[in-house]
Chain A
């Protein structure tokens, strides 16, 4: 097998992976970096992020406000030591992106402009019109070209990690263009493979968001943490799930039901006012807004379309000029895909899966429990998002902790040596055999596209916006059945060159194991918190029993073993989580009690 030796290997070349690679190159240009991605870096899903990235810049804002908003938004489940580090480094990292050329939108005086976002008390979202992720990704990718120590493996698919001597020492990859296997030996490995939203059906996510890194780490014993918290974004296109950014509401857009009524005022987010007010109404957090949609649908107050029930995202009052300047991609999506001019007609929207709050457990240093293995970005659970991520925190997560992963992995790599090549290669050969197994014709007649569809439907039925034990149990059973049938998948395409049939089957293997972690984590959390809401007697948050992280450990061919770990609380005791006028009131009371 061909072998490439690097000091650090990074799997995934989206925002987190690229930022990690640059951090290593800057920390020590003598360290070689293998940057592996199953797509060209600029295709990574960071590209689709629209609204922006949070970093405190205004004089009347503070790190404490950003901290409080984040912990409050996460419904108490954030690790507060990590959030403290996070909010203290957002602005610096966004400024770094600016120095590297990111075309952030500006105020007339040439300074960075910021916009309002859901759940944020003060405007602190940096943005590049409504293609913020696209510009961040291209800026990082093009900047990475400057560093000769970064060797890219574009369109190489990660088939397995090499774990030897109790630590991660490399990655086995498949070159998509040839089907050839390569062993990439490395003293440290960083996973930056993004989320796993494709375990669901309707999502804002690209086809590549299949949880590859999560599944690989999980198989090697690293726990997946808080996987039950899957975020539904409230304003997505029907049928496809494509995203209409939260910035639509940050800029002042309204959500209306079939009667034109701004229904969010009925769900503890009011009062409704003409001007957007932070943390009120349309600027509430995503979990609450998606839940409100669910209730409106049940009440029969939604709009019926060819692709199901919807509410209206009304941007008409923002006017044509503002829409073109601040939300050009939203205009393009509405016009090209729906034949709707948002300056003249409201856009029908509904919630769709958008973000994986959970992931590979990683500490403040981006280190996983498996020595030599680091994780950053959406694939990681470092504790900053809790039970519900706030919009514009993920684009800073990837750069703050992408950099951290790079710096820490570089440090680690300098202090260790590799096991003998022969030992690592033997492991790699085993991984190759396993990856080739779906191509063996004697296995059976199952088709992976069929299994994938059944998985996504079942996940949506069991792990949607509201959940019950009965539905979740049905999904647990279904995923177990699908994993068993997966062993009988036959891949039609037996060729080597660009065999996307085969790679799709391997991706389904990753998806099924991650899906199982999601549903088993969910059924065991007998309370309602953030994005995990139950209707079967566990409607309330239960801090006494569940102010804890869920840890899912791989259970081989069977379901995961579920355990729990403590949440790190430094300075903010989880209080009442309320928004709108109720939120202001609760805050005043807590302040009074504290000073009382």
Chain B
């Protein structure tokens, strides 16, 4: 960062959604003026508010480097990670920060993600070995090409931005949704795994891939290029194949 990037004394207006269930009857926006620098993130602005202006503001954060997935926020209406979104994108205009859409607000910028975690728990998100192997036998062989088949889907940081972006999830919380489908696909596409049949019912249910209306906004907001829409599309194909093969082959389709 060059020195010329900072304008001493500059500031920016940050509006933050407040909601404290014990005292506020409904959410409202509160405005703060915080110091501006070109390399300051929205998360750093929130930290400044909490440390120096109003310690009662609550939000989740930890790693600051877009890998822990804690600080998903609506920033000027778009789901983003606070730590990897910079004030420079809005300056000299104001920044409006809210909790992620489509999740119940617990307080201020903190949302309840139990629905997401519950869905993760039910998709069997672990290797169900195709061929069990003991540790003495060493690692499974997996070529870089086989790795590439699932690697991008394993990069999901569980930030839930894609759920805040998904119009279908907004309408129907039962919808399995983008990130979880990507993770389900991550295991199905892993050469070590043989658990497709166990996951099929979830994937192919009405609330599974068929719930998706193909808006693809999920992939646009994903900070890690996981491309959940791609996972969903691949599985719509697989699901359709599975449906037809059911009539010709007992036991359904295999990978």
Answer whether residue B142 sits at the interface, using C-beta atoms and an 8 A cutoff: yes
Answer whether residue B58 sits at the interface, using C-beta atoms and an 8 A cutoff: yes
Contact assessment for B67 and A134 in the assembled complex, using a CB-CB cutoff below 8 Å? yes
Selected interface stretch from B48-56, B200-208, B234-242: B48-56
Answer whether residue A154 sits at the interface, using C-beta atoms and an 8 A cutoff: yes
Give Cα A516–Cα B187 distance, bound, in whole angstroms.
47
Max chain A Cβ within 10 angstroms of own Cβ: one of B39, B112, B139: B139
Known: A134-B157, A138-B154, A207-B61. A449 touches B139 (CB 8 A): no
Answer whether residue B194 sits at the interface, using C-beta atoms and an 8 A cutoff: no
Known: A110-B143, A131-B155, A305-B3. A48 touches B68 (CB 8 A): yes
Contact assessment for A145 and B68 in the assembled complex, using a CB-CB cutoff below 8 Å? no
Max chain A Cβ within 10 angstroms of own Cβ: one of B5, B112, B121, B154: B154
Neighbour of A110 across the interface among B61, B64, B146, B193, CB < 8 A: B146
Contact assessment for A106 and B147 in the assembled complex, using a CB-CB cutoff below 8 Å? yes
Give Cα A40–Cα B70 distance, bound, in whole angstroms.
9
Contact assessment for B157 and A106 in the assembled complex, using a CB-CB cutoff below 8 Å? no
Nearest Cβ distance between residue A84 and chain B, in whole angstroms? Answer: 19
Chain A residue nearest to B54 in the complex (CB): A492
Neighbour of A43 across the interface among B3, B64, B68, CB < 8 A: B68
Known: A47-B67, A101-B192, A338-B1. A496 touches B22 (CB 8 A): yes
Contact assessment for B126 and A100 in the assembled complex, using a CB-CB cutoff below 8 Å? yes
Contact assessment for A106 and B67 in the assembled complex, using a CB-CB cutoff below 8 Å? no
Contact assessment for B6 and A306 in the assembled complex, using a CB-CB cutoff below 8 Å? yes
Chain B residue nearest to A101 in the complex (CB): B127
Answer whether residue B243 sits at the interface, using C-beta atoms and an 8 A cutoff: no
Chain A residue nearest to B191 in the complex (CB): A110
Contact assessment for B154 and A103 in the assembled complex, using a CB-CB cutoff below 8 Å? yes
Selected interface stretch from B27-35, B103-111, B210-218, B246-254: B103-111
Answer whether residue B255 sits at the interface, using C-beta atoms and an 8 A cutoff: no
Give Cα A493–Cα B20 distance, bound, in whole angstroms.
11
Answer whether residue A143 sits at the interface, using C-beta atoms and an 8 A cutoff: yes
B interface, how many residues as a size bin?
35 or more
Answer whether residue A99 sits at the interface, using C-beta atoms and an 8 A cutoff: yes
Selected interface stretch from A238-246, A353-361, A561-569: A238-246
Contact assessment for A498 and B108 in the assembled complex, using a CB-CB cutoff below 8 Å? yes
Q: Which residues of A contact B58 (CB under 8 A)?
A: 498-501
Neighbour of B66 across the interface among A101, A307, A336, A453, CB < 8 A: A336
Contact assessment for B56 and A493 in the assembled complex, using a CB-CB cutoff below 8 Å? yes
Give Cα A112–Cα B110 distance, bound, in whole angstroms.
40
Answer whether residue B190 sits at the interface, using C-beta atoms and an 8 A cutoff: yes
Neighbour of B68 across the interface among A47, A107, A332, A453, CB < 8 A: A47
Nearest Cβ distance between residue A27 and chain B, in whole angstroms? Answer: 16
Contact assessment for A501 and B65 in the assembled complex, using a CB-CB cutoff below 8 Å? no
Give Cα A96–Cα B129 distance, bound, in whole angstroms.
13
Binary B-proximity of A102-121 (CB < 8 A = 1, otherwise 0): 01111111111000000000
Contact assessment for B142 and A106 in the assembled complex, using a CB-CB cutoff below 8 Å? yes
- Given A110-B146, A134-B157, 8 more contacts at CB 8 Å? A45-B63, A48-B63, A101-B193, A206-B62, A333-B65, A492-B54, A492-B56, A498-B108
Which residues of A line the B interface, CB within 8 A? 39-40, 42-45, 47-48, 92, 95-96, 98-101, 103-112, 131, 134-135, 138, 142-143, 145-146, 154, 177, 206-208, 238-240, 242-243, 305-307, 329, 332-333, 336-339, 447, 449, 453, 491-493, 495-501, 504
Query: What are the 7 A-B residue pairs with the smallest beta carbon separation, nearest first?
Result: A110-B141, A206-B62, A449-B51, A142-B125, A498-B107, A493-B56, A101-B127
In the assembled complex, 16 residue pairs joining A and B whose CB atoms fall closer than 8 Å, in A order, are A43-B63, A43-B69, A45-B63, A95-B139, A96-B135, A101-B126, A107-B144, A109-B141, A134-B67, A207-B62, A306-B2, A449-B55, A493-B56, A495-B22, A497-B20, A497-B106
